[in-house]
Amino acid sequence: MNADKETLRRIAHLARLDFDEKEEGKMLDSLNKILTWVEKLNEIDTSQVEPLTHMTDEVNVLRDDEVKEPLPHDRGLLNAPDKDQDYFRVPKVLE
Amino acid sequence: MPSHEIRSAYEAVIGLEVHCQLQTRSKVFASDAVVFGSQPNTNISVITLGHPGTLPKLNRTAVEYAIRMGLACSCEISRYNIFDRKNYFYPDLPKGYQLTQDKTPICRKGSVTVRLKDGSHRDVIMNRIHLEEDAGKSIHLAGEPDTLVDYNRAGTALIEIVTEPVIRTSEEAAAYLTEIRKLVRYLDICDGNMEEGSMRCDANISIMPKGSKVLGTKVEVKNMNSIRNVQRAIDHEIDRQLNETEKGNAIFSETRTFDAGNGQTYSMRIKETMNDYRYFPEPDLAPLVVSEEWLESIRAAMPSLPQELHRRFVNDYGLPDYDAGVLTDSRETADYFEEVCRHTKNYKAASNWVMTAVKSVLNERNLHINDFPVGARELAGLISLVDSGKVNHTIASQKIFPLMIQHGKSAAAIAEENNLLLQSDGGILQTLINEVLLSNPEKVKEFKKGKKALLGMFMGEVMKRSGGKADPKLTTELLGKTLKEI
Per-residue model confidence as pLDDT tens digits over B391-406:
888 888 888 898 898 8
Percent of chain B topping pLDDT 70: 99
CB-CB under 8 Å, A95 with B269 = yes
Q: In chain A, where are the structural domains located?
A: 5-42
pLDDT at B270 over 80: no
Angle at B159 between CA B154 and CA B161, to 5 degrees: 135
DSSP B10: E
If you average pLDDT over every residue of chain B, what do you get?
92
- Tens of pLDDT, residue by residue over B211-223, are 999 999 999 999 8
- Mutation pick from A7, A8, A67, A75 vs chain B, by most beta carbons of B within 10 Å, is A67
Residue in chain A closest to B269 (alpha carbons) equals A95
E strands, chain A, in order: 62-63, 88-91
Compute the average pLDDT of residues B118-131: 95
Query: What are the φ and ψ backbone dihedral angles of B83, each rounded to 5 degrees?
Result: -105, 155
Three-state secondary-structure class, residue B139: strand
Query: What are the φ and ψ backbone dihedral angles of B238, each rounded to 5 degrees?
Result: -60, -45
- Mutation pick from A6, A9, A52, A53 vs chain B, by most beta carbons of B within 10 Å, is A53
E strands, B151-198, in order: 157-163
CB-CB under 8 Å, A53 with B44 = no
Compute the average pLDDT of residues B461-482: 84
What is the reported pLDDT for B465? 85
Q: How far apart are CA A26 and CA B157, in angstroms?
A: 43
User: Would you call B269 an interface residue with chain A, using a CB distance cutoff of 8 Å?
Assistant: yes
What stretches in chain A show pLDDT beneath 50?
95
DSSP B103: S
- Tens of pLDDT, residue by residue over B285-317, are 999 999 999 999 999 999 999 999 999 999 999
Helix, strand, coil percentages (3-state) for chain A, rounded to 5, are 40, 5, 55
What is the reported pLDDT for B40? 97
What is the reported pLDDT for B425? 78
What is the reported pLDDT for B428? 83
Task: Give the β-pairing of B76-77 and B107-108.
Answer: antiparallel
Contacts of A56 in chain B (CB under 8 A): 286
Q: In chain B, where are the structural domains located?
A: 4-294, 304-417, 426-485
Alpha helix segments (H runs only) across B278-356: 292-300, 306-315, 321-327, 331-341, 347-352
Residue B426: pLDDT band by 50, 70, 90 thresholds? confident
What is the reported pLDDT for B212? 93
Global ipTM: 0.91
- Residues 6 or more apart in contact with residue B347 via CB below 8 angstroms: B317, B318, B319, B341
Name the fold adopted by A5-42.
Histone, subunit A (1.10.20)
Question: Is there a contact between B135 and B98 (Cβ–Cβ < 8 Å)?
Answer: yes
Q: How far apart are CA B234 and CA B221, in angstroms?
A: 8
pLDDT at B244 over 60: yes
Name the fold adopted by B426-485.
Arc Repressor Mutant, subunit A (1.10.10)
What is the reported pLDDT for B274? 56
pLDDT at B408 over 80: no
Question: Is there a contact between B88 and B277 (Cβ–Cβ < 8 Å)?
Answer: yes
- Tens of pLDDT, residue by residue over B44-67, are 999 999 999 999 999 999 999 999
Query: What are the φ and ψ backbone dihedral angles of B336, each rounded to 5 degrees?
Result: -60, -45
Contacts of B25 in chain A (CB under 8 A): 65-67
What is the reported pLDDT for B453? 85
Query: What pTM was computed for the model?
Result: 0.85
Residue B484: pLDDT band by 50, 70, 90 thresholds? confident
Q: Hey, what amino acid is at B457?
A: M
* C-alpha torsion B291→B297→B299→B303, nearest 10: -150
What is the reported pLDDT for B64? 98
Compute the average pLDDT of residues B333-337: 94
Q: How far apart are CA B93 and CA B155, in angstroms?
A: 9
- Tens of pLDDT, residue by residue over B323-334, are 999 999 889 999
Task: Give the β-pairing of B76-77 and B58-59.
Answer: unpaired
Question: Is there a contact between B32 and A66 (Cβ–Cβ < 8 Å)?
Answer: no
Three-state secondary-structure class, residue B178: helix
Q: Which residues does A contribute to its contact with B (CB < 8 Å)?
A: 10, 13-14, 16, 51, 53-56, 58-68, 70-71, 73, 76-77, 82, 84, 86-95
Q: Which of B453, B344, B352, B437 is nearest to B393 (CA)?
A: B352
- Tens of pLDDT, residue by residue over B2-41, are 889 999 999 999 999 999 999 999 999 999 999 988 999 9
B222 vs B412, which has greater pLDDT? Answer: B222
Q: Which of B217, B226, B138 is nearest to B174 (CA)?
A: B226
Q: How far apart are CA B339 and CA B22, in angstroms?
A: 29
Contacts of B31 in chain A (CB under 8 A): 63, 66-68
- Residues 6 or more apart in contact with residue B329 via CB below 8 angstroms: B182, B306
User: Would you call B60 an interface residue with chain A, using a CB distance cutoff of 8 Å?
Assistant: yes
What is the reported pLDDT for B200? 96
Shortest alpha-carbon distance between residue B38 and chain A (Å)? 11
Q: How far apart are CA A76 and CA B429, in angstroms?
A: 82
**B206 exposed, middle or buried (CB, 10 Å; 0-12, 13-18, 19+)?**
buried
- Residues 6 or more apart in contact with residue B148 via CB below 8 angstroms: A84, A86, A87, A88, A89, B40, B138, B139, B140, B141
pLDDT at B423 over 80: no
